[in-house]
Amino acid sequence: MFIQLLPVEGFVSEIAVNEMGISMVRFTKDLLFSSVQQTDQGLYQCIASNAIGERSTFIGLIVEAEIDSVITNLEVTVDHTNAQFNLKWHLPQTMDYLEADHTIFLLNYYLSDGGSANNVPLRNVHCTPDNWCIAKCCSSNYIFLPRQNYTFQMSLFKTNAVGKITPLSEHVTALSWDGGAFY
């Protein structure tokens, strides 16, 4: 199993408004479990502490291995102007687009000619009633080299009372942007 805090450097900041209309800036990181196997199932505890105090939470992890719980039809195209990848995929047979709001979609990628696997939790995923989803990858927190072949796979993590991560999709290869947009 591979465990990682994302983004690696810094935090994700967002403005949150509570029920009383008070806005505040919230700083977060995602704790990402990836490349999991059946033997990694269990109860996990996350503890965060600083000078002010400590918080902890528990989550149960179940690895779904049913063949119908896999993301299918992954397509990756390149947006050369914005140095991004456009992603499109079909949800697993076991879920519909309404469940996507309670799901973290994970993009697994690596250089096709070798290199370690990296994982990105995708933000701003949009799913439609026909169970197709789209997203863009990735922010400047993730470094992709120009003119390189990358291999991509997807899985998802359901975030209800018990976390469930699905197996990786079939792999897709794409050549990254040409780098011309930066000159």
Burial class (CB in 10 A: 0-12, 13-18, 19+), 126: exposed
Average pLDDT of the chain to the nearest whole number: 81
Taking the C-alpha atoms of residue 67 and residue 54, their distance in angstroms, rounded to an integer, is 40
Burial class (CB in 10 A: 0-12, 13-18, 19+), 30: middle
User: CATH class for domain 67-182?
Assistant: mainly beta
Strand 162-165 and strand 149-159: the pairing is antiparallel
In the chain, the amino acid numbered 10 is G
pLDDT in tens, 46-102: 888 888 889 888 878 777 666 568 899 999 999 888 888 999 999 998 888 898 888
* pLDDT tier, 183 (very low <50, low <70, confident <90, very high otherwise): very low
Judged against a pLDDT cut of 70, whether residue 8 lies above it is answered with no
Taking the C-alpha atoms of residue 183 and residue 172, their distance in angstroms, rounded to an integer, is 28
Residues of the chain with CATH 2.60.40.10: 67-182
pLDDT in tens, 124-177: 899 999 999 999 998 666 778 888 899 999 998 876 656 677 888 999 999 988
